[in-house]
Amino acid sequence: MSTSTVVSAVSRPIGWHTLHWRYHHRRVRKLQVRIAKATLDRQWRRVKSLQRMLVRSFSAKALAVKRITENPGRRTPGVDKQTWSTPESKWKAISQLKRTGYKPLPLRRIYIPKANGKSRPLGIPAMRDRAMQALWLLALEPVAETTADRNSYGFRPLRNTADATGQIFICLGNRSTAEWVLEGDIKGCFDNISHDWLLENIPMDRQILRKWLKAGFMDKGTLYATDNGTPQGSPVSPVLANMCLDGLEQKLAEQFGRKNTAPARRHKVNYVRFADDFICTGSSRALLVKEVKPLIIQFMAERGLTLSEEKTLITHIDKGFDFLGRNIRKYNGKLLIKPSKKNLKNHLSKIRSIIEKNQMVTAAQLIILLNPIIRGWANYHRHIVAKETFSYVDHQIWRKIWQWCRRRHSNKGAGWVYRKYFRSSRTGTYRWLFHGEDRNGKIWDLMLSSTVPIRRHIKIRTEANLYDIRWETYFEHRQDNIWAESQKGKRKITAIWHRQNHTCPLCGQRFTKETGWHIHHKVKKTLGGGDEPDNLVLLHPNCHRQIHSNEAGSLDREFIKA
């Protein structure tokens, strides 16, 4: 009886905040697992049938709308100037995700600055088009993950630059490993991918894919056609680009030997890719120039892509090369991975620019601007040989901060300025701490990069597949470890997280850095509830809004037990 009641409630939701997210996540997950298994067995007709079933399901449509209305770009509108920011608009949007009569709007072209001073074009789809792409992404990603290159790490779930760097260390770290490296650079990868190749090889509804590819874009009021490429900025674009570049690792293995075979040990050809940046190792320069590079050029040409002759370099490991903001080089036979000089220079330039542009703000306001940048950069490099670089960065920031302080008080002595803006560390480890007090009396300390501990990153297993049921426990443990590391020092939050078995009690999904979290009080503070751990629950942001909505009182009583 209780089971039929739950099913009835799920099948007849009356609004956005009455959706039973636990049920919808489970339903979509089951179909994705079946798609991945069919892909692994090469049952392409079954893949197509399951994909059609998934994109037509109410659960997948609801999750697609949820995804695009919770990501960082949710407030950026397309050409129709719409954003789905209310529960009513999100609920209405679910019924708009239909194949029949669907015609995507042109993309809104915007430009973001690059580190080299140029601009990168982004195409911003309208909200409905974003939701349709997110819907098909739910059906396409299990296929992409199952057929992906083993050592592709960009734009894939639970893979990052630290994993790519870890794989490079495996390929180059020993004395018997390859000594020559081909640094690949694809000329305008996202802008030049062949539409014909995508339509012929991507396993999804070709009519929908063709409409997305040919939608065009609006730039300064003018409509432009799109004959090639996948626009950066749309949800499905990274997966399409990955699927386009997948297969090169297999071709290299067929030509130069698979892992642990005699040809592989002789040629030492290894391939690591992050998005459209890749490196390929080899036993000699001649091998890379005469055999490996022509194979790569032919592979790219089939997809409408070309290598940049100026930026595609072949380097000896003793001279080193830059990849993903790190410099990888052997010193007397020992491989060390450090922050690259270019990355370090860009980071310090950004810090100095912020300090120079904020001469009149308070010390606390300046610290609030600087800390996220310092923390993000240090956390990015915390898995490599960066301790010495962190100390250098701290010193350079101190020099600029000291200049900022002296300029504000040019008629005061150095001792007076030091006592006003600096204090000794609580631990006594560091001799100075730039600090400031905000309007509420809170003391803010400038973060030091050298306080970030250097820790070895545990690389993801190359064969791990998020949609393969055999890897489910592995990914659960990995997600938990990553989230626990991100919350280190927050004892109360960690204790509540453990008590909830690492999941949100409303939707049943695990917490990640991407999903975020909110704290919910079981007994509201206005009714006498406090901040003790027994009165607190961790929820996903959307689940927290659902609890506090007028429609979700029954959900509060059902899932958040006192």
Q: Is 101 in the same domain as 131?
A: yes
Helices 87-94 and 58-68 pack at an angle, to 10 degrees, of: 140
For strands 119-124 and 277-282, give the pairing: unpaired
- Tell me the three state secondary structure of residue 332: coil
- Whether 136 maps to a domain, the answer reads yes
Backbone angles phi, psi at 497, to 5 degrees: -60, -45
The tokens for 514 are 């991407």
Q: Is 330 in the same domain as 372?
A: no
Single out the residue of 260, 266, 255, 257 nearest to residue 291, CA to CA: 255
Do 401 and 355 contact (CB within 8 A), yes or no? yes
As a 3-state breakdown, the chain gives helix, strand, coil percent values, each rounded to 5, of 50, 15, 35
Domain of 244: which CATH number? 3.30.70.270
In a 13 Å sphere around the CA of 383, the CA atoms on its Cβ side amount to 17
The tokens for 556 are 């509060």
Q: Is 353 in the same domain as 416?
A: yes
Q: Is 350 in the same domain as 491?
A: no
Q: Is 286 in the same domain as 267?
A: yes
Single out the residue of 548, 545, 466 nearest to residue 70, CA to CA: 545
Q: Is 143 in the same domain as 155?
A: no
Residue 227: Cβ within 10 Å count:
10
CA distance 413 to 490: 40
Residue partners of 525: CB distance under 8 A and separation at least 6: 531
pLDDT at 127: 94
Out of 420, 451, 482, a domain closes at 451
The tokens for 6 are 């739950």
Out of 338, 360, 394, a domain closes at 338
pLDDT at 430: 59
Q: How far apart are the first and last CA of the chain?
A: 24
The tokens for 211 are 């409409």
CA distance 370 to 381: 17
Q: How many domains does the chain have?
A: 4
- Domain residue limits at 99: 21-115+126-147
Residue 354: Cβ within 10 Å count:
14
Q: Is 406 in the same domain as 478?
A: no
Do 226 and 213 contact (CB within 8 A), yes or no? yes
Q: Is 411 in the same domain as 283?
A: no
Q: Distances in Å between the alpha carbon of 427 and those of 379, 431, 487?
A: 22, 10, 21
Out of 338, 363, 396, a domain closes at 338
- Cα dihedral 368→374→379→382 (10° resolution): -150
pLDDT at 116: 65
Q: Is 381 in the same domain as 400?
A: yes
Residue 324 falls in which region: left (phi positive, over 0), alpha (psi -120 to 50) or beta: left
- Whether 562 maps to a domain, the answer reads no
State the DSSP string of 320-350: -EEETTEEEEEETTEEEEEE-HHHHHHHHHH
Residue 101 falls in which region: left (phi positive, over 0), alpha (psi -120 to 50) or beta: left
Residue partners of 182: CB distance under 8 A and separation at least 6: 279, 280, 281, 282, 288, 292, 293, 296, 312, 313, 314
Q: For the chain, give me the number of helices (H) and strands (E)?
A: 23, 16
- Whether 97 maps to a domain, the answer reads yes
Let me know if 431 is exposed, middle or buried by CB neighbors in 10 A (0-12, 13-18, 19+). Answer: exposed
CA distance 504 to 560: 10
- pLDDT tens digit at each of 562 positions of the chain: 333 333 344 457 888 988 999 899 999 999 999 999 999 999 999 999 999 999 999 999 999 999 999 888 888 899 999 999 999 999 999 999 999 999 999 999 988 877 666 778 888 999 999 999 999 999 999 999 999 999 999 999 999 999 999 999 999 999 899 999 999 989 888 889 999 999 999 999 999 999 999 999 998 888 989 888 887 888 999 999 999 999 999 999 999 998 889 988 999 999 999 999 999 999 999 999 999 999 999 999 999 999 988 889 999 999 999 999 999 999 999 999 999 999 999 999 999 999 999 999 999 999 999 999 999 999 999 999 999 999 999 999 999 999 999 999 999 999 999 999 998 765 545 567 899 999 988 999 999 999 999 999 999 999 999 999 999 999 988 888 887 777 776 777 788 888 888 888 888 888 887 777 788 887 776 666 777 777 888 888 888 888 877 544 444 444 444 4
Q: Distances in Å between the alpha carbon of 437 and those of 88, 360, 368, 434, 449?
A: 42, 15, 11, 11, 21
CA distance 371 to 562: 38
Single out the residue of 199, 196, 233, 204 nearest to residue 217, CA to CA: 233
CA distance 427 to 372: 22
Q: What angle do CA 148, 154, 159 make, to 5 degrees?
A: 85
| H/E run at residue 260 | none
Rg (Cα) of the chain, in Å, rounded?
26
pLDDT at 452: 92
CA distance 125 to 131: 9
CA distance 172 to 333: 10
Q: Distances in Å between the alpha carbon of 357 and those of 67, 353, 366?
A: 36, 6, 10
CA distance 199 to 121: 23
- Whether 206 maps to a domain, the answer reads no
Q: What angle do CA 469, 464, 467 make, to 5 degrees?
A: 35
- Whether 397 maps to a domain, the answer reads yes
- Whether 67 maps to a domain, the answer reads yes
Q: Is 189 in the same domain as 308?
A: yes
Residue 79: Cβ within 10 Å count:
17
Q: Is 282 in the same domain as 160?
A: yes
pLDDT at 516: 78
Q: Is 159 in the same domain as 90?
A: no
- Whether 2 maps to a domain, the answer reads no
Single out the residue of 104, 112, 86 nearest to residue 17, CA to CA: 86
CA distance 536 to 177: 52
- Whether 297 maps to a domain, the answer reads yes
